[in-house]
Chain A
Amino acid sequence: MNSTKNNINSRRESLGFFFFFFFLFAQLFSDRRYKAPLLVGSLLCMEKQGGIVTSNLLGSASRLLRKCLFSILSFGPMPTHIAFIMDGNRRYAKKRSIKQGVGHRDGFTTLTSNLKYCYEMGVKYVTVYAFSIDNFKRDSSEVRFLMDLMKEKIDELLKQDSVINRYGARVNFWGNLDLLSEPVRSAAKELMASTASNKGPVLSVCVAYTSADEIMHAVQEVCRERRERLQREHGRVNGMGNETDSDVSVADLEQHFYTAGCPDPDIVIRTSGETRLSNFLLWQSTNSHLQNPVRLWPEFSLRHLIWAILEYQRVYSYLEDTRNLSKKNE
């Protein structure tokens, strides 16, 4: 009698462990809204045995599975620079019937998790389009909310245990920062300064940015440099310079972009299915694979990122050919 009872118990335990790992694997690939119930499911499987599995164990098991997946992906060519246009926060909030602010907050959570996945995969540069100069046209309360959210998140990133410090990442803020309010601007500059010497992966956040504004800024900087050089050489500017002094080349402009020193993006992903670039990295995305998944940004999870990488790997040889051709053209 006792032995049969023990047999039944041990069978139940092994079944419990099987389902625990099944739910763990499933939550890795699931949507945000299914992650929690699947995790609870895995915990319940363990609960029968009376133990509460620590979050560390779950976390390290997930990390392990992700590591396996990324090793498989790395067999093919991996991108060095991925750019995200984080579109669809407001539509997500409308869809879930939650406040717009919560939609933006969920968007930031998605950003940190995707950053984590990209850095684990070995993608060294990640650029995100956080706020366009055109977005200042929005309702002033929404703009103020977004600015406050940005300040709050920058302050969070400055803390010791943030995802930035865990990976030793360097943070850049690209854009016309003078258009931002003083608290946000100073917080951004502080974050840039504190991470400037980091040697790890690079996160570039485009705030108050448009490609057209970046090009004009570069032109202005080049002209200012030329004038200063002429003033040094000739004392005065008017009429002393040659014709060639005002010649600006493509390389001159590229040296003065915000993106100078950063390689061109390999993939530009715009979520929510929109097909336009909306003034984002127009100069730098010459040979980038432009992708527009239908998912909204807060719903963009690991499996969508993996799909994006697989799509890039499919067309990699074509992109390499065009890249080599445009190098020849320059």
Chain B
Amino acid sequence: METHLIQMYMRLANEFARTFDSLFHRIQSSMILKFILGLFWHLLHIAVSLVHIWSYVIQQLRCYIISSGLFAKYRNFSLSRLRYLAVIVDSQEAKHTAKIKQLLSWLSAIGVKHVALYDAEGVLKKSIDFGQTRLRDRSAGTCLDGDVNCVTSLCNYEEMSIELLSFTDGKEGIAKAASFLCSDYLKNDSDDCGRTETLFTEANMTKALKAVGYYGPEPDLLLVYGPARCHLGFPPWRLRYTEIMHMGPLKSMKYSAIVKALYDFSKKYQNYGS
């Protein structure tokens, strides 16, 4: 009796699997199926949104606790590992220069010395004008290394040096450095293979980037202000071992969130592949 039942169930299951496959293809274009799938898809996304809402609430609580100064660890942590900080801002939000300036003053208050501000469309380069604010030395033509041939905008703001970057400083910068290396390579007439090996090294690319004015130090930490965690074309040559942290939209930026990010960075350990 039992074995008979088993055999029946096995046959049924096999049949079910086979017919389901063919049925699947047939009713795939059915409107009802689309409606049901859509319903489940929206339900899934509602569940995801609920999880996000919960983590947002936790984050706000944490920010409130940090700003109340309850934990000493958030007040006294070392920034010695942070030599260079980069901030990526969504181009739409970069138009709010008041927010950008507030962000910079917060960073300055924390003790950051060098900041690179990046936005994909170059809105920051056009709109940031430090003329009215306390300005030390507007040296738009000087690079960090003292080279005169410099394209990126650099200025000082409240004892902090600020570098403004956009999409053209990334891939196009590398292409210009490649042109520089290429012209060097073509000048040499001999078919010297050894020369090829010594010319196309990463160190020489760095020198070429300096020569064409697209050089900058590699940031240790990158804060992303935008709807999603993307680096939006930040210069690839400078992004190799940078810690990337997503801070959310610029309009809801908080001082304590920056403190938390810097604290988390100070606790990170990198073994650089080994």
Which residues of chain A come closer than 8 Å to B242, judged between CB atoms? Answer: 276-277
Q: A137 near B171 (CB under 8 angstroms)?
A: no
A134 in contact with B20 (CB, 8 Å)? no
Partner of A282 from the list B13, B44, B240 (CB cut-off 8 Å) is: B240
Q: Which residue of B lies closest to A310 (CB)?
A: B48
Cα distance, A290 to B245, chains bound together (Å): 10
Query: When the two chains form their complex, are residues A57 and B13 in contact, meaning their CB atoms are under 8 A apart?
Result: yes
Residues of chain B with a CB closer than 8 A to A222's CB: 178, 182
Contact with B along A207-247 (1 / 0, CB 8 A): 00011110110111011101100100000111001010111
Question: Residue of B at shortest CB range from A291?
Answer: B229
The answer to whether B273 and A132 touch across the interface, beta carbons within 8 angstroms, is yes
User: What residues on B are CB-neighbors of A319 within 8 Å?
Assistant: 228, 230
Cα distance, A279 to B270, chains bound together (Å): 13
Q: Smallest Cβ distance from B238 to chain A, in angstroms? A: 9
A248 CB contact (under 8 Å) in B10, B13, B167, B175: B175
User: Distance in Å from the Cβ of A312 to the closest Cβ of chain B?
Assistant: 9
Known: A212-B237, A276-B243, A310-B45. A238 touches B205 (CB 8 A): no
Contact A49 B200 (CB under 8 A): no
Asked if A223 contacts B231 (CB within 8 A), the reply is no
| 9 pairs, A vs B, C-beta closer than 8 Å | A76-B45, A135-B273, A212-B237, A219-B205, A220-B200, A238-B187, A276-B244, A282-B236, A319-B228
A253 to B172, CA, bound (A): 10
Distance (Å) between the CB of A237 and the closest chain B CB?
5
CA of A230 to CA of B175 in the docked complex: distance in angstroms?
20
| Interface size bracket, A side | 35 or more
Task: State the Cβ distance, A269 to closest chain B Cβ, in Å.
Answer: 11
Asked if B239 is an interface residue, CB under 8 A from chain A, the answer is yes
A216 in contact with B37 (CB, 8 Å): no
User: Is there a chain B Cβ closer than 8 Å to A289's Cβ?
Assistant: yes
**Number of A-B contacts defined by CB within 8 Å:** 191
Top 7 A-B pairs, shortest CB-CB distance: A134-B273, A238-B189, A246-B183, A282-B236, A51-B6, A315-B228, A75-B41
Indicate which residue in B185, B233, B243 contacts A286 across the interface (CB closer than 8 Å): B233
Supplied contacts A315-B227, A325-B91, 9 more A-B pairs, CB within 8 Å = A51-B10, A64-B17, A75-B34, A75-B38, A245-B186, A248-B178, A283-B171, A314-B48, A322-B232
Q: Does A106 make an interface contact (CB < 8 A)?
A: no
Q: How far is the CB of A205 from chain B (nearest CB, A)?
A: 17
* Distance in Å: Cβ of B90 to nearest Cβ of chain A: 8
Please indicate the chain B residues that have their CB under 8 angstroms from the CB of A226 in the complex. 182, 186
A318-B228 contact in complex given A51-B3, A215-B174, A310-B48, C-beta closer than 8 Å: yes
Cβ-defined contact, A223 with B200, below 8 A: yes
User: Does B63 touch A at the CB level, under 8 Å?
Assistant: no
Which residue among A135, A236, A276, A310 has the maximum number of chain B CB atoms within 10 Å of its CB? A276
Chain A positions 290 through 315: 1 when the CB is less than 8 Å from some CB of chain B, otherwise 0: 11000000000000000100110111
CA distance A60 to B34 in the complex (A): 24
Is A75 within 8 A of B175, CB to CB?
Answer: no
**A216 contacts B205, CB within 8 Å?**
yes
In the assembled complex, the Cα of A329 lies from the Cα of B121 at a distance in Å of 8
A326 at the interface (CB under 8 A from B): yes
B179 at the binding interface (Cβ < 8 Å): yes
Structural contact, B41 and A275, CB atoms closer than 8 A: no
Asked if residues A223 and B182 are in contact (CB atoms below 8 Å), the reply is yes
Q: Are A219 and B230 in contact (CB under 8 A)?
A: no
**Judging by beta carbons under 8 Å apart, are B175 and A137 in contact?**
no
Contacts of B167 in A (CB 8 A): 326, 329
The docked-state distance in angstroms from the alpha carbon of A218 to that of B201 is: 12
Q: Among B10, B91, B186, B236, point to the contact of A223 (Cβ < 8 A).
A: B186
Q: What's the nearest-Cβ distance from chain B to residue A230, in Å? A: 7
Chain A residue, CB-CB nearest to B168:
A329
Taking a contact as CB atoms under 8 Å apart, the answer to whether A248 and B186 are in contact is no
Which B residue sits closest to A214, measured CB to CB?
B236
Residues in A with CB closer than 8 Å to B120 are: 322, 325-326, 329
B130 on the A face (CB < 8 A): no
**Given A72-B40, A279-B241, A322–B186 Cβ distance below 8 Å?**
no
Flag whether B196 is at the interface (Cβ < 8 A). yes
Whether B258 is near chain A, meaning CB under 8 Å from some CB there, is no
User: Given A212-B240, A219-B200, A329-B121 in contact, is the A57-B10 Cβ separation under 8 Å?
Assistant: yes
Residue of chain A at shortest CB distance from B14: A57
Roughly how many angstroms separate A148 CA and B116 CA in the complex, as a whole number?
43
A218–B171 Cα distance when bound, in Å, is 13
- Provide the residues of chain A in CB contact with B71, threshold 8 Å: none
Indicate if the CB atoms of A288 and B38 lie closer than 8 Å. Answer: no
- Which residues of chain A are within 8 angstroms of B236 by Cβ–Cβ distance? 211, 215, 282-283
